[in-house]
């Protein structure tokens, strides 16, 4: 019933299925706000700075008193003392006067600019020779130049970075309303699975994907909910999904690498509400059998039980959806990458995107060489050995030795 | 006494000053291990997988029984039932026999490969026609192919990623020894500073750098210790540094933008032990007055009180040192970046690296345009408006409109 779709089409269906999200808000201290997303526009209730400040060590002046000054024909000004840092100047600056000021000092009323030390010569304690003219506003941050009262500090749905926390501190805002991180549930299915703390019997293996996906969810900025292991039976999987759907913003079902169990995941998504399965099969390797659907308002992925496939498809399909669910509307999250030349020919099939794990070797020239990691796709150690991944697009038949590629870093 | 050095020389002195670090270790659950650094080589005490598994839906066979099989001349095999997922096969596979197996199923003794469903035809419940030969090991992950007993899962000083957590789970390792994150103290100096919760009087401003740097420290993977605000007096600064040096792996002193206060920071570093100040002045804008030194075993930075300068130099000089202090010996941390074309000519001076804050605009072609953010360098809002920064190298006189650059993303 479902056709295999391109990566682009799959991403389009996934991202567009969650247009109207409604995240809860919480208030946090700015020291806990890093990488959180603003839940509202944050406005300054103050003027920053609330007085005009010097950005240089020098002398506060009226610019017009310096016009025409030069090395050979200095302007002479009366030194009326020094401005103490953190204090209000004692008196106003009148025509022909100047006061010594350090970087960050408050300009006295009357002054409109600062003459740099380098262009001033203190003839004695009372008299300054000014060797260069300054323009009004020069070497000064004016009152309100950083923020005006009522001006937006941060927009809504903005990812909070170090500098944003600085700007909030500058405006005296120590608590902010941010969006609650999405809660992403992981259900591992498979009759062969036991938890990592257990000793598997013959035929059993440990549940890898719950833990690898939980870490990937944390990396993407969401909160993982581990639901444990569910046996390969439709009623049990349905029960597990129903049990967590109230609490979860997104559900990942991992497992079902065999045809029969894959069908179970798709059926459960369809049974739990419209629109049901939206993507079933993507032209990508690894990850072709990836399933995505919406059971009423709950987005659900069916990822491979093969951890390599699950993690590669997580980065391509799940992470962008999590960014969307976090409230990142405007910003594109762009992963770290480096240019490298491939160390050997890498074959690929036209008609699908191939993701090839690579190691990086730095050459003497400073260039990187991307060396494919060999090994069967089911081996988690091939991902451990990899420093990143390269994508061979669907209209290429492979890469040639020495060809330049971008390595998306892990 | 100190010469202004290049960015490269400054980084060289900084990184090489901390050759023999001795991080404490702590043990964490693998679910808390993301982005932590391994404190020891982690070895598997088990074989993974501990039995040979099928990677396809199909039929477990002895490869030699299929040799020479073709569409026109199939090999015929006796179907001896089905292997249940997660269970040990009931009997061995003898010559001429086959058993149905799903992806992940355990190969019975005697079988060495799996014939894919697509190449098999069930003539009846007892008889299989095999239309293609398989090679020994085909469609199978062999016992121990992922990890052998005693094989290293992760090297020492390795940053733990999602896939690494998966590999640990596969080997049954649920707790790992990781290095304690470095503790980075921030001391803000300045007679004009008050804390963000306070209302500044005329001449005073709020302490921005403690909060912006604390966030930058968290971003770099370290733990911030906020020491508060210290008045511009050598004895007080020295007292503050001495008070935290036992506890801190690294101390950042922010402030001292005026010549007098900058000298205080350098003097305190020199007084507290050899080798003292190692860098005093770097050919970079912003950030020229940056100071770095070692007081016995404690690395100390003197950063500008100007938050833009402090944050730009943090990324270039402090973050690489923090990576080193975290124990990241081999791996280079490569920031996210995108290519863009500059929207206008940007002048620069030869002989220094210029860091220019930019916004990004996506063009219809999908290319990015880098638009410089204007405004005086003391304005924190210029960093808030920026999506990233471009570096104009010291042997360039600027950038021309349309020139391609790499934007390092914030």
Interface check for B376 against chain A (CB to CB < 8 A): the answer is: yes
C-alpha–C-alpha distance, residues A317 and A184, integer Å? 14
Which tens digit of pLDDT belongs to each residue from B222-238?
Answer: 999 999 999 999 999 99
% of chain A at pLDDT higher than 90: 91
Interface check for B123 against chain A (CB to CB < 8 A): the answer is: no
A28 pLDDT above the threshold of 90: yes
C-alpha–C-alpha distance, residues A163 and B213, integer Å? 9
Rounded to two decimals, the ipTM of the complex is 0.94
CATH node for A53-141: 2.170.190.11
Tally the C-alpha atoms within 13 A of residue B282's C-alpha that lie toward its C-beta. Answer: 30
- Nearby residues of A51 by Cβ (< 8 Å), 6 or more positions away: A106, A107, A143, B202, B203
B259 pLDDT above the threshold of 80: no
Average pLDDT over residues B103-110: 96
Q: Is the peptide bond before B20 cis (omega within 30 degrees of 0)?
A: no
Average pLDDT over residues A86-109: 96
C-alpha distance from A364 to closest chain B C-alpha (Å):
16
Residue A2: per-residue pLDDT: 74
Residue A19: per-residue pLDDT: 77
Average pLDDT over residues A203-216: 97
**Residue closest to A254 by CA, chosen among A216, A283, A295, A203:** A216
CB atoms within 10 A of CB A132: 15
Residue A262: per-residue pLDDT: 80
Interface check for A105 against chain B (CB to CB < 8 A): the answer is: yes
Which tens digit of pLDDT belongs to each residue from B7-53?
Answer: 999 999 999 999 777 789 999 999 999 999 999 999 999 999 999 99
A131 pLDDT above the threshold of 80: yes
Query: Which residue among A170, A192, A261 places its CB closest to the CB of B208?
Result: A170
- Nearby residues of A35 by Cβ (< 8 Å), 6 or more positions away: A159, A160, A161, A221, B219
Q: CATH 2.40.340.10 residue ranges in chain A?
A: 337-409
Residue A214 backbone dihedrals phi, psi, to 5 degrees: -60, -40
Q: Do A170 and B199 touch (CB under 8 A)?
A: no
Tally the C-alpha atoms within 13 A of residue A122's C-alpha that lie toward its C-beta. Answer: 14
Residue B1: per-residue pLDDT: 59
Residue A63: per-residue pLDDT: 97
CB contact burial B172-189 (16+ within 10 A = b; e otherwise): bbbebebbbbbbbbbbbb
Which tens digit of pLDDT belongs to each residue from B178-221?
Answer: 999 999 999 999 999 999 999 999 999 999 999 999 999 999 99
Six-digit token pair at A65?
Answer: 């008193």
Q: Do B311 and A410 touch (CB under 8 A)?
A: no
Q: CATH 3.90.105.10 residue ranges in chain A?
A: 25-48+146-179
- CB-CB contact of A284 with A5 (8 Å): no
- CB-CB contact of B323 with B182 (8 Å): no
C-alpha distance from B274 to closest chain A C-alpha (Å):
30
Which tens digit of pLDDT belongs to each residue from B128-156?
Answer: 999 999 999 999 999 999 999 999 999 99
pLDDT band at A194 (very low <50, low <70, confident <90, very high): very high
**B84: chain A residues, CB-CB within 8 Å:** 191, 203
Q: CATH 3.40.980.10 residue ranges in chain B?
A: 7-22+181-326
**Residue closest to B101 by CA, chosen among B114, B91, B90:** B114
Q: Do A102 and B193 touch (CB under 8 A)?
A: no
CATH node for B7-22+181-326: 3.40.980.10
Residue A260: per-residue pLDDT: 77
**Residue closest to B173 by CA, chosen among B331, B326, B41:** B41
Q: Is the pTM of this model over 0.90?
A: yes
Which tens digit of pLDDT belongs to each residue from B307-346?
Answer: 999 999 999 999 999 999 999 977 788 899 999 999 999 9
DSSP string of B251-267?
Answer: EEEE---SHHHHHHHHH
Bridge partners, B301 (sequence order): B252, B292
Which tens digit of pLDDT belongs to each residue from B339-382?
Answer: 999 999 999 988 999 999 999 999 999 899 999 998 888 899 99
C-alpha–C-alpha distance, residues B302 and B307, integer Å? 13
Average pLDDT over residues A247-263: 87
Q: Do B215 and A162 touch (CB under 8 A)?
A: yes
C-alpha–C-alpha distance, residues B360 and B342, integer Å? 9
The CATH superfamily holding the domain A25-48+146-179 is: Molybdopterin biosynthesis moea protein, domain 2 (3.90.105.10)
C-alpha–C-alpha distance, residues A66 and A132, integer Å? 7
C-alpha distance from B65 to closest chain A C-alpha (Å):
24
Mean pLDDT across chain B: 95
Interface check for A193 against chain B (CB to CB < 8 A): the answer is: yes
Mean pLDDT across chain A: 95
Residue B262: per-residue pLDDT: 80
Query: Which residue among B51, B53, B85 places its CB closest to the CB of A232?
Result: B85
Q: CATH 2.170.190.11 residue ranges in chain B?
A: 53-141
Which stretches of B174-312 are assigned E, i.e. beta strand? 175-179, 183-189, 193-194, 205-206, 223-230, 250-254, 275-280, 284-285, 291-295, 298-303
C-alpha distance from A173 to closest chain B C-alpha (Å):
7
Residue A330: per-residue pLDDT: 72
Residue A1: per-residue pLDDT: 60
Continuous segment of H or E residues that includes residue A271: helix A259-271
Which tens digit of pLDDT belongs to each residue from B55-78?
Answer: 999 999 999 999 999 999 999 999
Residue B340: per-residue pLDDT: 96
Which tens digit of pLDDT belongs to each residue from A328-358?
Answer: 977 788 899 999 999 999 999 889 999 999 9
**B197: chain A residues, CB-CB within 8 Å:** 172, 174
Return the CATH architecture of domain A337-409. Beta Barrel (2.40)
Residue B188: per-residue pLDDT: 97
Residue B408: per-residue pLDDT: 96
Which of A238-242, A256-260, B266-270 is predicted with the least confidence, judged by mean pLDDT? Answer: A256-260
A 345-374 residues with CB below 8 A of B? none
Average pLDDT over residues A144-172: 97
User: How many pairs of residues across A and B have Cβ atoms under 8 Å apart?
Assistant: 292
């Amino acid at each position: 019933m479902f056709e295999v779709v391109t990566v682009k089409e799959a991403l389009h269906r996934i991202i567009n299925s969650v247009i109207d999200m409604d995240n809860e808000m919480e208030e946090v201290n700015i020291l806990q706000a890093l990488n959180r997303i603003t839940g509202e526009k944050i406005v300054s209730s103050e003027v920053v700075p609330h007085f005009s400040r010097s950005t240089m060590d020098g002398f506060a002046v009226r610019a017009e008193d310096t016009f025409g000054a030069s090395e050979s024909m200095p302007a002479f000004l009366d030194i009326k003392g020094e401005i103490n840092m953190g204090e209000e100047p004692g008196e106003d600056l009148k025509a022909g006067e100047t006061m010594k000021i350090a970087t960050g000092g408050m300009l006295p009323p009357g002054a409109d600019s600062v003459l740099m030390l380098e262009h001033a010569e203190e003839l004695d304690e009372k008299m300054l020779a000014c060797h260069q003219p300054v323009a009004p506003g020069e070497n000064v941050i004016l009152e309100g130049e950083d923020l005006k009262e009522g001006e937006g500090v941060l927009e809504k749905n903005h990812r909070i970075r170090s500098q944003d926390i600085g700007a909030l501190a500058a405006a005296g805002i120590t608590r902010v309303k941010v969006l609650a991180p999405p809660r992403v549930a992981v259900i591992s299915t498979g009759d062969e699975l036991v938890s990592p703390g257990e000793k598997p019997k013959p035929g059993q293996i440990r549940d890898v994907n719950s833990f690898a996906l939980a870490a990937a969810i944390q990396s993407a900025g969401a909160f993982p909910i581990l639901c444990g292991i569910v046996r390969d039976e439709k009623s049990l999987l349905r029960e597990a999904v129903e049990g967590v759907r109230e609490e979860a913003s997104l559900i990942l079902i991992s497992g079902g690498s065999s045809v029969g169990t894959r069908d179970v995941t798709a059926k459960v998504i369809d049974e739990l509400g419209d629109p049901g399965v939206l993507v079933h099969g993507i032209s990508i390797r690894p990850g072709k059998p990836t399933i995505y659907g919406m059971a009423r308002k709950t987005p659900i992925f069916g990822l491979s039980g093969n951890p390599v496939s699950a993690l590669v498809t997580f980065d391509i399909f799940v992470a962008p959806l999590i960014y969307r669910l976090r409230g990142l509307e405007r910003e594109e999250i762009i992963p770290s990458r480096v240019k490298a030349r491939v160390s050997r020919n890498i074959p690929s099939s036209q008609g699908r995107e191939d993701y090839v794990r690579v190691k990086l070797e730095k050459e003497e020239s400073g260039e990187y060489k991307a060396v494919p990691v060999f090994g069967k796709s089911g081996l988690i150690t091939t991902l451990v050995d990899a420093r990143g991944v390269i994508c061979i697009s669907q209209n290429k038949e492979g890469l040639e030795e020495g060809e330049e590629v971008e390595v998306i870093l892990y």
